[in-house]
Chain A
Amino acid sequence: GQQLNQSPQSMFIQEGEDVSMNCTSSSIFNTWLWYKQDPGEGPVLLIALYKAGELTSNGRLTAQFGITRKDSFLNISASIPSDVGIYFCAGQLGGSQGNLIFGKGTKLSVKP
């Protein structure tokens, strides 16, 4: 099946550091979505991107829809302990009517 490669798989950072994670594919995507999942809870939508090149911020979070439509990144600035969780990317393949494809997640740990 179609693959979404999300990296890194996990990150251990110090409070106050900036974080960057990304999702890449060999295929073109129509949309890119970024979710955060706290332990034992459902994923919560952080940012939705619908156009190539689009750069969108949500507080300390910034995400971009890659210009090639094959990738997206999520940056978190000045991390805080409550940023801990698993971050998922998801997207719909270009030219398809299919369901969202989800990355396997990036697990973020923040040391106070």
Chain B
Amino acid sequence: DGGITQSPKYLFRKEGQNVTLSCEQNLNHDAMYWYRQDPGQGLRLIYYSQIVNDFQKGDIAEGYSVSREKKESFPLTVTSAQKNPTAFYLCASSIGGLGETQYFGPGTRLLVL
């Protein structure tokens, strides 16, 4: 079955620690995205990538980093510079670029210890 997987489901971060969230898709989609969701708020775009080895900052990129070495994978690192990392993180992908229908993974909840 094709789809998007995210791991882990829950992640705990200590102060000053970097953590990496995994996102994999086997839909053969070109574009991938990372969003942050806080309670009662809509989705905010962190980073996106329209093609392998290329990615762009979204609206709230500070404190985050990404890589796109393979079409199937778009990991997100939450760095120690992100002072308020507790949130629900969603990965998505689309066949083509920006504006196309996006399909979401199941999400990773990040909590700070």
Q: Is the CB of B107 within 8 A of A40?
A: yes
Q: Is the CB of B99 within 8 A of A41?
A: no
A100 at the interface (CB under 8 A from B): yes
Q: Is the CB of A42 within 8 A of B98?
A: no
Contact of B98 among A41, A48, A90, A97 (CB under 8 A): A97
Q: What class of interface size applies to chain A in its complex with B?
A: 20 to 34
A73 at the interface (CB under 8 A from B): no
Q: Is the CB of B101 within 8 A of A41?
A: no
A1 and chain B: residue at smallest CB distance: B59
Chain B residues with CB below 8 A from A40, complex form? 88, 107, 109
* Chain A contact residues: helix, strand, loop or mixed: loop
Contact of A100 among B90, B102, B109 (CB under 8 A): B102
Residues 80 to 108 of chain B near chain A (Cβ within 8 Å):
88, 90, 92, 97-99, 101-107
Interface residues of A (CB under 8 A from B): 1, 30-31, 33, 35, 40-45, 48, 88, 90, 92, 96-100, 102-105
Interface residues of B (CB under 8 A from A): 4, 6, 33, 40-43, 45, 48, 58-59, 88, 90, 92, 97-99, 101-107, 109
